[in-house]
Amino acid sequence: MAQNIERVEAIMTAAPVIAVLIVNDPKKAVPMAEALVRGGIPGIEITLRTPNALDCIKAVADNVEGALVGAGTVLNHQQYEASVKAGSTFVVSPGATDNLIAAAEDFPQAPLLPGAGTASEVMKLLEAGYERLKFFPAVPAGGTPMLKGLSSPLAAAKFCPTGGINLGNARDFLALPNVLCVGGSWIADAKAIESEDWAGIEKRACEAAALTV
């Protein structure tokens, strides 16, 4: 089963940035997500890097109107299934394996945005019917020059670069023809979440939502 490109692209184009988050407290996840949505960033990727990440996804899915919440750092079928049960509307992975692609076929309601960092990885995903990809880790993997190099020979692939993206360089990535959005953690980093700086998160979300090229 090929990727549901229409559904994935709707998430990728909802705003210039998808917020990539590490959060462990469901009680903080809700006001955090509300601040992001108020600021114009509905795409919220909660990474499975904390013990309570799934509970945070469920809290946002159940309580935050307008949020497009997904799970990040998904590595296998078990995590994929748990993410969908928690309420994820999309799933993001740092790379791609045959098992993960198979998991995505089992849960079409939550399409996969798989990671790729080389031309060969992109080609393999294109062969599997995946045209909307995460470019990861974006800056270490070659940044904008690498994406420019991929744009002509692999024109069908459109990306969400993630890894090393910030307010200062996001516009450079967004200017590329094969970039639909970027993923970034600067909008709501761990310090801001821990200190409950919802006003600061909303302010940075507004700045991110206003990024244009």
Q: Which residue among 45, 121, 131, 202 is the active-site one?
A: 45
Quick one: how far is CA 48 from the chain centroid?
Answer: 12
The reply to whether the predicted model has a pTM over 0.85 is yes
Q: Is the dihedral of CA 164, 5, 91, 61 positive or negative?
A: positive
Q: Which residue among 34, 58, 134, 158 is the active-site one?
A: 134
Name 160's bridge partners.
134
CA–CA distance, 110 with 94 (Å, rounded to integer):
16
84-130 pLDDT, tens digit each: 999 999 999 999 999 999 999 999 999 999 999 999 999 999 999 99
Name 46's bridge partners.
21, 71
**What pLDDT score does 213 carry?**
58
Max Cα-Cα span within the chain: 46
**What pLDDT score does 142 carry?**
98
Domain boundaries, the chain: 5-209
Architecture of domain 5-209: Alpha-Beta Barrel (3.20)
DSSP code for 22: -
* pLDDT < 70: residue spans in the chain: 213
Q: Please confirm, yes or no, whether 134 is among the known catalytic residues.
A: yes
